[in-house]
Chain A
Amino acid sequence: MKERSKKIFRIFIGVMAISLLVACSSNDPDPIDPGEDYIPTPKPLTVPPIFEQFLPQPFIPADNPQTVEGIALGRKLFYDPILSGDGTQACASCHKPSNSFTDENQFSIGIDGFEGTRNSMPLYNMAWNTNSKFFWDGRAISIEDQALGPVENPIEMHNTWENAVASLQSSSAYPELFNKAFGTSNITKELTTKAIAQFERTLISANSPFDRYLLGENSLTPQEINGFAIFMDEARGDCFHCHGNEFSPLWTDNIFHNNGLDPIITDKGLGNVTGDPNDDGKFKSPSLRNLAYTAPYMHDGRFATLDDVINHYSEGLVYSRTIDPLMKAVSRGGVHLTEPDKADLKAFLLSLSDPSFINNPDFQDPN
């Protein structure tokens, strides 16, 4: 019994000592150097009900967990022109919330006035891109990897990371914000892209009229419902093989296809990345969410309207060697949808647009 009470006393002293330590650290008013053991506040993604029901869990890299401080830093960086060579462009210059994080141009203009060759991609639901290939041609293998590119691209933000990091390091606000997010005020390009990626993973869109229809929360018009039937009909739209369905609510397969745009491939797309000529002319299927805000369309922004896109698949397909077998009746240009079918299909597609996403206050410019 004596031994036991000694042991209990020792444990009591231990607990007291630990609680003193905890009390001290939580009272610490100086966040500048929280030290090695600093842990920012975890902030797991909020998985929307339609994704929870039908999709695998979102993918978060083990070395970049979502945190309150990391997301806030990423949001500030996303909207801050400090990353560009002349301090005039931010990520948000070509990825605007009002356009579902793309812009209205066929090709975006970089800081030196040069045009790119690909249409700026909209950004949402990126944590569900399970094959983890980003850009139209899949050349980035993570969001963090993707975010490295535009800063140094000479026709985009035309900066060097060395210079961008120096600008952040010498600013009044960023060292402290990095310290809060990552426990170090020593800024690197890796930490910068980690923060941006954390913010981008929070850009989740799953609250369109069609989502609410699937959840039994609202109804669709007969035209939208008929449009969905055309979408799912192999002999008419046959859109579902690449663009999802009611149980695959990303509305993309995240895979690369040649969708019959050109007889001669000038932009090799995936083929440039893999080096395989059988991949020439293949680009990633974009999601069909938020089309109301993302015109123009295709990897090169060639189609100004959704009607142009539907007409392409209906009558405008052209053969090239790597054309996807799912592009049918190519000798006739496509399956020739009727005009009422086209109108209904378009109505359905627009029911996948989510105004609450583009207006979400958490996604707007914090600066």
Chain B
Amino acid sequence: MKKVALFFIMAFFAVACGNDDDSQPEIFGCTDSSSLNYNSAANTDDGSCIYNKNVTFSFIQDWDGQSVTSADFNVTSFTNAFGNTLQISKLRYLISKIVLHKADGSTVDFEEYKLIDLTDPTSLTLTPAIMATTGDYTGISFVYGFNELDNRSGAYPDLNDANWNWPAMLGGGYHFMQMEGKYEDGTGGELPYAYHNGTARVSPDVFEQNFISFNFSQNFTISADATIEIKMNIAEWYKNPYIWDLNVFNTDLMMNYEAQKHMNENGASVFSIGAITQ
């Protein structure tokens, strides 16, 4: 009680003094004119300044924890959950609609999509034109492939140039992934596989959306330019829940509804958020 009384007395004097002489009253706010929320009336910085920072997404791949790069193509053998021994010669996939979720409920919506091609180092990172504001974040979401609205046939010149289109007879739009290579057929030979994913064709002219939305809860703070890793565990494409046997599904999978849906199921556990550094 005494303390409260003292506080009021002091507060009274503080205000009284301020009014009586020429010195400015303390006005709290952001006093940095380079910030987004600069308050020209403020004379006391309260740490509330907000800044725009670059966010770079780094796309990295592994096989159950073992790093995979294009240096592994045609060289490194992997064993999938079923037991097929396979090599990879191509891996390209599409990520779109990356969103950062702020603690205050607002979002940072990056508009770019990204075609990641392991043989093209420049495709392994994305620094969107839109910047993220400093502060606390609670989640990261993105779409593997394109959602129905974005998956418009021929709409993206760079993807057209990359021959990334998905045939109209299979629903059109674009591929979501092309993973190709060879697997051992068990008799000393090798056979090709082309694990291509996109819109699923149920029957002629009947199609089913096949993209996957990811929404990761993750608390982090952006205080400087940041790098966020988006990780793909390639092995997950072959398990969890469907144990993929390349002897059953290898090529001609684009028009194979069953194969497309197994890809979609298995894809749900493929991606995760890795290190966030700044």
A157 within 8 A of B: no
Within 8 A of B (CB), among A329-345: 329-331
Q: Among the listed A55, A232, A278, A331, which residue makes an inter-chain contact with B167, where contact means beta carbons less than 8 Å apart?
A: A232
Instruction: State the CA gap A209–B191 with chains docked (Å).
Output: 38
* Chain A residues within an 8 Å CB radius of B90: 325
Which single residue of chain A is at the shortest CB-CB distance from B182?
A: A325
- Whether A55 lies near B157 (C-beta < 8 A) is yes
B75 within 8 A of A: yes
B144 within 8 A of A: no
- Whether B154 lies near A326 (C-beta < 8 A) is no
Q: C-beta contact mask, B172-197 vs A, less than 8 Å → 1, else 0?
A: 00000000111000000101111000
Q: Among the listed B74, B163, B180, which residue makes an inter-chain contact with A278, where contact means beta carbons less than 8 Å apart?
A: B74
With contact pairs A54-B154, A325-B89 given, residues A248 and B163 touching in the complex (Cβ less than 8 Å): yes
Interface band, chain A: 20 to 34
A245 within 8 A of B: yes
* Chain B residues within an 8 Å CB radius of A324: 89, 192
* Chain B residues within an 8 Å CB radius of A322: 74
A234 within 8 A of B: yes
- Whether B160 lies near A54 (C-beta < 8 A) is yes
With contact pairs A55-B157, A56-B158, A325-B181 given, residues A235 and B252 touching in the complex (Cβ less than 8 Å): yes
- Whether A245 lies near B163 (C-beta < 8 A) is yes
* Chain B residues within an 8 Å CB radius of A250: 161
Closest-CB distance, B62 to chain A (whole angstroms): 21
Instruction: State the CA gap A326–B89 with chains docked (Å).
Output: 11
* Chain B residues within an 8 Å CB radius of A303: none
* Chain A residues within an 8 Å CB radius of B193: 325
Instruction: State the CA gap A234–B75 with chains docked (Å).
Output: 27
- Whether B169 lies near A241 (C-beta < 8 A) is no
- Whether B255 lies near A234 (C-beta < 8 A) is yes
- Whether B161 lies near A278 (C-beta < 8 A) is no
B232 within 8 A of A: no
- Whether A240 lies near B167 (C-beta < 8 A) is yes
* Chain A residues within an 8 Å CB radius of B73: 278
Instruction: State the CA gap A323–B90 with chains docked (Å).
Output: 13
- Whether A326 lies near B167 (C-beta < 8 A) is no
Closest-CB distance, B266 to chain A (whole angstroms): 20
Closest-CB distance, A255 to chain B (whole angstroms): 8
Instruction: State the CA gap A55–B251 with chains docked (Å).
Output: 29
* Chain A residues within an 8 Å CB radius of B180: 325-326
B254 within 8 A of A: yes
- Whether B181 lies near A245 (C-beta < 8 A) is no
Closest-CB distance, B140 to chain A (whole angstroms): 29
- Whether A245 lies near B161 (C-beta < 8 A) is no
Q: Among the listed B75, B181, B252, which residue makes an inter-chain contact with A328, where contact means beta carbons less than 8 Å apart?
A: B252
Q: Among the listed B165, B169, B251, which residue makes an inter-chain contact with A247, where contact means beta carbons less than 8 Å apart?
A: B165
- Whether A234 lies near B192 (C-beta < 8 A) is no
* Chain B residues within an 8 Å CB radius of A328: 192, 194, 251-252
* Chain B residues within an 8 Å CB radius of A246: 154, 168
A168 within 8 A of B: no
With contact pairs A278-B73, A325-B90 given, residues A55 and B160 touching in the complex (Cβ less than 8 Å): yes
Q: Among the listed B75, B157, B194, which residue makes an inter-chain contact with A326, where contact means beta carbons less than 8 Å apart?
A: B194
* Chain B residues within an 8 Å CB radius of A247: 153-154, 160, 165
Closest-CB distance, B191 to chain A (whole angstroms): 8
- Whether B157 lies near A233 (C-beta < 8 A) is no
- Whether B163 lies near A244 (C-beta < 8 A) is yes
Instruction: State the CA gap A326–B90 with chains docked (Å).
Output: 11
Within 8 A of A (CB), among B184-215: 189, 191-194
Which single residue of chain A is at the shortest CB-CB distance from B120?
A: A131
Instruction: State the CA gap A177–B74 with chains docked (Å).
Output: 51
- Whether A54 lies near B194 (C-beta < 8 A) is no
A309 within 8 A of B: no
A130 within 8 A of B: yes
- Whether A55 lies near B161 (C-beta < 8 A) is yes
Which single residue of chain A is at the shortest CB-CB distance from B174?
A: A247
* Chain B residues within an 8 Å CB radius of A235: 252, 255
30 contacts between A and B (CB under 8 A): A53-B154, A54-B154, A55-B157, A55-B160, A56-B157, A128-B161, A232-B167, A233-B167, A234-B170, A234-B254, A240-B163, A240-B165, A241-B163, A242-B163, A245-B163, A246-B168, A247-B153, A247-B160, A248-B160, A253-B162, A324-B89, A325-B90, A325-B180, A325-B182, A325-B194, A326-B180, A326-B192, A326-B194, A327-B192, A328-B194
Beyond A234-B252, A325-B251, A326-B180, 7 additional contacts (C-beta under 8 Å) are A53-B154, A54-B154, A233-B169, A234-B170, A240-B163, A278-B73, A331-B191
